[in-house]
Each structure stands twice: as structure tokens, then as C-alpha cells.
Amino acid sequence: MISLAVLLLQDAHFRFRRIRQSEDGASVIEWAMIAAIVVVAASVIGVVVMKIVTNKSAQLDDCASKPAGSACGP
């Protein structure tokens, strides 16, 4: 188990060293900026989806407390 962890650590170190040697600093910064934009976009989308689900859940909860056959809608 420990040898697997050492092997994975050595592989990660080798990959990091190879990436560091093969790319410019500007290219790394561009990738970091793109990654940051993707994270922010995913967070915004997650918040929007969460709000929609929360609103629909509240509507369903209101409908569930009304008697059968009564009008249930926005």
C-alpha cells in the first residue's frame, strides 16, 4: 500500500516537472485564468439551479398541504 503511494507521488512529481519545463509561464497563467472562470461559472449555475429547486420544493410543499381536488398553482 505504501509502495503504491510512493509510486503515485513519484509519478505526480514527474508530471509536474515535465509540465513546468514544457510550458511558458504565460501559458500556465492563461490556464489558471480559464480554470478560475470555469469555477466561477459553475458556481453561478449551481446557485441558480439551487434557487429553482428550492422554489419548486416550496411550491410542492404548499400543494401537499392543500386538500385533494383544490386548485394548486402559482
| pLDDT above 90: residue 6 | no
Q: How many residues does the chain have?
A: 74
pLDDT digit string, tens, across residues 21-73 = 665 666 778 888 999 999 999 999 999 999 999 999 998 888 888 887 777 76
Q: For the residues 4-31, what does the mean pLDDT come to?
A: 74
Sequence-distant (≥ 6) Cβ neighbours of residue 74 within 8 angstroms = 59
User: What does the alpha-carbon distance between residue 38 and residue 49 come to, in Å, rounded to a whole number?
Assistant: 16
What is the model's pLDDT at position 48? 95
Contact 59, 74 (CB under 8 A): yes
* Entry pTM: 0.54
What is the model's pLDDT at position 41? 95
